[in-house]
Chain A
Amino acid sequence: MSDKYVRLSDLTLSYGKTVAVPNLNLDVVEGELIALLGPSGCGKTTTMRAIAGLLTPTSGAIEIDGRDVTRLAANKRGIGLVFQSYALFPHLSAFENVAFGLRLKNMADAEVRSRTEAGMATVGLAGFEARKPAEMSGGQQQRVALARSLVMEPKVLLLDEPLSNLDARLRLEMRTELQRVQKDTGVTMVFVTHDQSEALALADRIVLMKDGKIEQLGTPSQLYAEPATAFAAEFMGFENIFRVEGENLVSNSGQLRLGFAASSSMLAWRPGGVHVGQGPFSGRVVASSFAGGHREYVFDCQLGEIKADAPIETAEVPLGQSIAFDLPQSTARPLLA
């Protein structure tokens, strides 16, 4: 097991004169499932395309399994990529789609057949061999795309937004499927997503990216509990983020005197971390909605809007009424900037 199985060193990627990713450094551990997470335009897809060899880096190096592949052509890298659109070949059957790469290797027909059938079985598509992509559902098409990459026994399997085109039920199914495939084959997987819940649920480690740079890197629980920056906190569901100046919390609309001494330059609270019903502060309710186990409030105070979840047992405060709340130290997340 190498903990530098995929190694990106000082990688700079650009489209023409536009630099999409400046100077990226990242090590991927062998056999892990790592997520590149970030909003569109953050460079995650660009990075993935560079690993695949579909984009030549402006500078820097890409190593895979100890070998420098920076200048190696995409068709010689032995990397699999499951495209967001699946990119199946519409003129070929599911079987021929999966067998496509094997046939290029001048492999004996019997072996192509047995490996293709095994690949289709791995993704639960035995019996669908003769179907054309157009005759399959989105979920089935994605499985064909997954099998097509897996039968090549790639060193690294890249997945572009693997769950974004599926409905809620299929998402869950595919998530389990991907984790199982990864456990069975031990293949190193890098997937790209803009959906933090997808990354949190699936990945061993998450690389949060912003403007082509790594904002924070860590396990899902680290990122969820301890976002380091305002950007990371926002991505992880901290909806109330304020600057700290002296003993005050400051926003663009005003300030509020804190009840405790803060050592960081910013503080953030999840809606669930705001105490509703009692406390030193008060706001006016501008929105309130029932969300099953809790009630979601938006209220207006000196800091502007605050989002808070109240336990369902507490009495509902009607719109326009004032509500007491607290921003306690215990649930506050200190941020860098």
Chain B
Amino acid sequence: MKNLTIWVILGLTLTFLIGPFIIIIFAGASAGEALAFPPDGLSLKWYFKVFTIESFRDSFLLSMFLAIFGTLTALLLGIPAAYALNRYDLPGNETIRTIVAAPIIVPGIIVGLALLRYLVIPLDFTVTLALFMAHTALVLPYAVRVVSSSLNNLRADMEEAAVLLGCTRMQAFMKVVLPNIRGGVLAAFILGFVTSFNQVPVSLFLSGPGVRTLPIDMLAYMEITYDPSVAALSALLAFMSLAIVFIAERLLGFSRYV
């Protein structure tokens, strides 16, 4: 009896976690014209159609650009920040950590509105630049946190040893610290990439004509055209995320860092 309860709970959990994903895959593989489940016959035509929709192509490229360069920028800022927070007993260390974590805590929609109201409108920032800044800020907390936990496992005397063997502090960082935290850096990159790519609330306010991230573009598309291509695209994106995480897990045991 107890066993049965456990199986029921497990079954329900999995159904609600994976169920929507399966529904999307099949809804996208419909032979019909409208988004429906169960699908109206099976066909891959919507999966191919996705690649011919021009706005999806543009917004996909924008999302990719934001995810890759936003995350790289966040790492460029986050790695030195994590290093400084770890190695030096700075005044206000905890305050800085909290501020760095703020973009996760503050609702994205507020960040989006704030950037629109105070950067884009009065200062004439382009929407792309504002989006780039927003995504960088959003990924920064992950970069700092994941890199910090790698640095915690790295003893400071290793750097001192490198310095005594002739390294400058910078060389010691590049030759000794960086190679030993590269797993954490890669993990932070993947986490940041996925976070940025799937980001909706911040981007909602920062989309203009011709400048939309992919998730926003999909929302906009569905308001006008209720066909299965959105489901097909969603399924493709889910597979892409899965593939990235799977490869990362295989290459460096991603789950150790997150």
Interface positions of A (Cβ within 8 A of B): 52-54, 74-75, 77, 79-81, 83, 85, 87-91, 100-101, 104-105, 145, 148-149, 152
Contact = CB atoms under 8 A, between A and B. Distances in A.
Contact of B163 (A74, A85, A89): A74
A91 B153 CA distance: 14
Nearest to B176: A89
B157 A83 contact: yes
Which among B157, B164, B168 has the highest number of chain A CB atoms within 10 Å?
B164
B133 interface: no
Given A91-B180, A104-B171, A75 B157 contact: no
5 contacts: A75-B164, A75-B167, A88-B158, A100-B175, A105-B166
B165 A148 contact: yes
Contact of A74 (B157, B158, B164, B180): B164
Interface of B: 155, 157-158, 160-168, 171, 175-176, 179-180
A89 B162 contact: yes
Contacts of A53: 164
A85 B155 contact: yes
Nearest to B158: A87
A80 B155 CA distance: 18
Interface centre among B160, B166, B167, B176 (most CB of A within 10 A): B166
Contacts of B175: 100
B161 A152 contact: no
B180 A87 contact: no
A75 B155 contact: no
Contacts of B155: 85, 87
A81 B161 contact: yes
Contact of B164 (A80, A88, A89, A91): A80
A195 to B, nearest CB: 21
B77 to A, nearest CB: 24
Top 3 A-B pairs, shortest CB-CB distance: A101-B165, A87-B161, A87-B157
A42 B211 CA distance: 66
A169 B48 CA distance: 71
B164 A104 contact: no
Contacts of B179: 89, 91
B165 A104 contact: yes
Contacts of B166: 75, 101, 104-105, 152
Nearest to B159: A87
A158 to B, nearest CB: 9
A79 B165 contact: no
B157 A52 contact: no
A194 to B, nearest CB: 18
B165 A52 contact: no
